[in-house]
Amino acid sequence: MSPPISIDGTDITGATIDGVDVDEITIDGTPVFSAGPPPSVFAGSDDNNIYAIDITDGSQLWSFTTGDNVESGIAVDDTAVYAGSNDNNVYALDINDGSQLWSFTTGDNVESGIAVDDTAVYAGSDDDTVYAIDKNNGSQLWSFTAGARIESGIAVDDTAVYVGSADANIYGLDVSDGSQLWSFTTGSAVLSDIALDDTAVYAGSFDENVYALDISDGSQLWSFDTGSFVLGGMVVDDTAVYVASFDGNVYALDVTNGSQLWSGINSGNSINGVAVDDTAVYAGSSDNNVYALDVTDGSQLWSFTAGGGIGSGIAVDDTAVYAGSNDNNVYALDINNGSQLWSFTTGDNVESGIGLTL
């Protein structure tokens, strides 16, 4: 992000002068400072592109073309958008115009979540490897090779990177060098999102269970059997873990012991992305619907029907819910009632994560 505007050391960014926002300074009509891009939604498509979309009206800000489908997570910081492609690369793109800052080549498709911290971008590949990539120049900092492909979400904190693998393991890796701190073995592939709080790591498995693991050593705190594959969204707040299951339900599980607080939707179709705020849990389903469920009891608040399955991640801000569909569109839905605010059409299915800047 560009530096703040200041006068005599006082930050005046976002202030107004004669009713005009101080977001840009010009000299003889030439901008010498810009407050950066407008609030944006970022999504990838199976048309090989990564898109930046104006959050207010759904207009395209920019696009960047990779060499294959974009189905990875998307991470965003103040300066760049990070995403993977099935052309085997991880890309860093300038947040303002989508120009390529760098790319990093792995040995296979990149369909994992993407995480970023102050120093590195973390991504997994179908070459069985997790990579830490210098966020400034795209050079490799370290790598860790698991026993099978990496397509799970990736989470990071000050000490470790947490990731699942199709080798049935959940790994805690030292954030500084990628060395294995611990691993926990489930009964099948771990391809779900990864959620964290201060004490635990939460992940789902194709063995139909959700696991809560001690963040320090990977020991099991509890597990919950959903009755079907757990390979989609997972988010956590102060009271519950919210889990998307292939059985067509979203489950709210007590963070302390894994007991079921409620389940919702029961669509009979797989649930994919999940997001949560103070009032609702938002989930996308292969039955073509985005659902809003009351966070306290799972009752349905509203639903929105797209023209295809909702296979993307779900993102939410104070006004809208954002989701991608296999009808090729990204949708912004009113957070209160699910009415469509806008849609943006790509050239193919939208099955990536959804990134936001506000």
Query: Residue 340 carries which side chain, given as an amino acid letter?
Result: Q
Q: What is the pLDDT of residue 266?
A: 83
**Count of all residues that appear for the chain in the document:** 358
Per residue in 52-108, pLDDT (tens digit) is 999 999 999 999 999 999 999 999 999 999 999 999 999 999 999 999 999 999 999
Between the CA atoms of 310, 351, 253 and 302, what dihedral angle is there, to the nearest 10 degrees? -30
Q: Which two tokens stand for residue 112?
A: 């994992």
337: left (phi over 0), alpha (psi -120 to 50) or beta: alpha
Per residue in 322-336, pLDDT (tens digit) is 999 999 999 999 999
Per residue in 118-141, pLDDT (tens digit) is 999 999 999 999 999 999 999 999
Instruction: Classify residue 250 as exposed, middle or buried by CB count within 10 Å of its CB (0-12, 13-18, 19+).
Output: buried
Residue ranges and CATH numbers for the domains of the chain are 1-36 (no CATH), 43-357 (2.130.10.10)
Which of 270, 170, 183, 248 has its CA nearest to residue 210? 170
Q: What is the pLDDT of residue 37?
A: 77
Percentage of residues of the chain with pLDDT beyond 90: 87
Instruction: Classify residue 325 as exposed, middle or buried by CB count within 10 Å of its CB (0-12, 13-18, 19+).
Output: buried
Per residue in 23-39, pLDDT (tens digit) is 444 344 433 444 567 89
